[in-house]
Amino acid sequence: MLKNIDRTNKLFERMKKDIPRIVNIALREDLGGNLNLQSDITSLLLSKKQHVKAKIIANDSGIFCGKYWFEEVFLQLNELNKNKEDIIKIDWLVNDTDIISKKQILCYLSGSAPMLLTGERTALNFIQTLCGVATETKGYVDLLKGTDAILLDTRKTLPGLRTALKYAVLCGGGKNHRLDLSDAFLIKENHIIATGSISNAIEYASKLNINKKIEIEVENIKELQEAIEANADRILLDNFSYEDILQAVKLNNQRTKLEVSGNINLSNIRQYALTGIDYISVGAITKNVRAIDLSMRLI
């Protein structure tokens, strides 16, 4: 796999392009397909010259995440407004990765009342979702303290939010698995069937000579032995029982890195980590997203 620092740098480079694009899509979604402030017919009830102040309040505790996406919402709305005196200004009281508590004020906003209310829901949608992922990730990471196991995410992400959710995992203290299909080899069951065997799949991947680490998924101890002998860089133990993981760690004897995935949750992750496994990947942290409750109030 890519080194974590290389993958993180790659993620941040991709975010620079993804944030404006995905925020633009979200705003268009809420404005009927066009970036036109007049499309928010309810905000037409308010005077364009009416200026207000507001605050974002946390109604749940957790880990804060999503500042860049929130700011981009109002940046794009500000660009639609020809009167620069009406632009939305944000005064942050928190940063990404900060622990937040119930009733905590996260930021203050000021500017055009109609524009602020137009962007409210889109901006909140981003931070409440990303706070939720960061908070859930932190819950898993805390349970791994004192072990050598590293929590990884997966590609099981909400469509269009891949980089955002993987960034949220980092804010929660986890690490990123593959960012996309070009990132590294991950040879799964159907790849093995199509190539004929574990050994064949690893051999073909090696011959491509594209300087990518090779990880392969195995489903039992026999397949694990074949993958070790074929010199896989990392082996994913898919849905192994606890007893089989203990056997796998012993058989491997630190010859390659081992990852476990499947049926991992908050109640059993520490038990798996104590087996001596290197990585634990959990799809639920970016798939079963529970948003943090946040709200905006005019003051």
Work out whether strand 214-218 and strand 234-238 pair parallel, antiparallel, or are unpaired. Answer: parallel
* φ, ψ (nearest 5 deg) of residue 32: 75, 20
| Residue among 217, 226, 259, 278 flagged as catalytic | 217
| Residue among 89, 188, 222, 297 flagged as catalytic | 188
Tokens of 90: 């944000």
Q: Confirm whether 217 is a catalytic residue.
A: yes
Q: Confirm whether 238 is a catalytic residue.
A: yes
- Rounded to whole angstroms, the Cα distance separating 148 from 173 reads 14
Q: Confirm whether 121 is a catalytic residue.
A: yes
- Rounded to whole angstroms, the Cα distance separating 172 from 141 reads 8
Cα dihedral 289/176/141/239 (nearest 10): 80
Helix/strand/coil for 236:
strand
The DSSP bridge partners found for residue 187 are 216
Tokens of 5: 């620092």
**What is the number of other CB atoms lying within 10 angstroms of the CB of residue 142?**
13
Type of residue at 182:
S
Helix/strand/coil for 179:
coil
Q: Confirm whether 226 is a catalytic residue.
A: no
> What are the start-end ranges of the E strands in the chain?
51-58, 62-63, 89-92, 99-100, 105-112, 150-152, 185-187, 214-218, 234-238, 257-261, 279-281, 294-298
| Residue among 30, 238, 244, 293 flagged as catalytic | 238
Q: Confirm whether 48 is a catalytic residue.
A: no
- Rounded to whole angstroms, the Cα distance separating 177 from 22 reads 22
Residues noted as catalytic: 121, 156, 188, 217, 238
